[in-house]
Structure 1
Amino acid sequence: MNTSTQQVRRSVAQHDYATTRGQQMLWILKPVKPWREKYDRSFGFVIRAETEAKARAFAASQSQDDHEGVWLDPNLTTCKELSPDGEVGIVLQDFRAG
């Protein structure tokens, strides 16, 4: 694990995410292009956070693989705010058959 990833994990762990409900938003994070590795990777997150930066940092801290830094890089992953408005349906389905 590199130094910047360790710093992000420390920062997220130390941050108090307890804020009022009205300040939180939902963010969906996904890779820009499909990963080369098809298994044992995080393929997306839906995260409740105040800002895109905090959502990205939290995703990086929770990634279960060796690629935590990709969740911080907008060239490699998207991070879009989810609106409660819209059609009824699935927000994220991430299925990998082995």
Structure 2
Amino acid sequence: KGISADVINIHTIKPLDAEAIIKSVKKTGCVVTAEEHNFLGGLGESVARTLAENNPAPQEFVATQDTFGESGTPEQLFEKYGLNSEAILKAAEKVIKRK
């Protein structure tokens, strides 16, 4: 699809690697966060705060949508909650249009 992206493995929310996030968004102009977590209070919101304080940019969130957890294989759960590559691509296409 011609989309070029930085991929950053944010392994901790605290301390958050704000320097890597800011450096990336200055290059790309937008952000998609993807996490196996509720979109409330997770990585996405921490990145949004960093952007708001340093370099505001469009952002899309790929995460569970404030639902209770369920049992299943990782693949089943990723599909059910939209945490797969298709969801990330869709979020990237959406956020690129907002740059």
- Does the TM-score normalized on the shorter chain lie above 0.5? no
Q: From the two aligned structures, give the one with the greater helix fraction.
A: 2
Q: From the two aligned structures, give the one with the greater strand fraction.
A: 1
Q: Kindly indicate whether structure 1 or structure 2 has the higher relative contact order, using CA contacts under 8 Å at least 6 residues apart.
A: 1
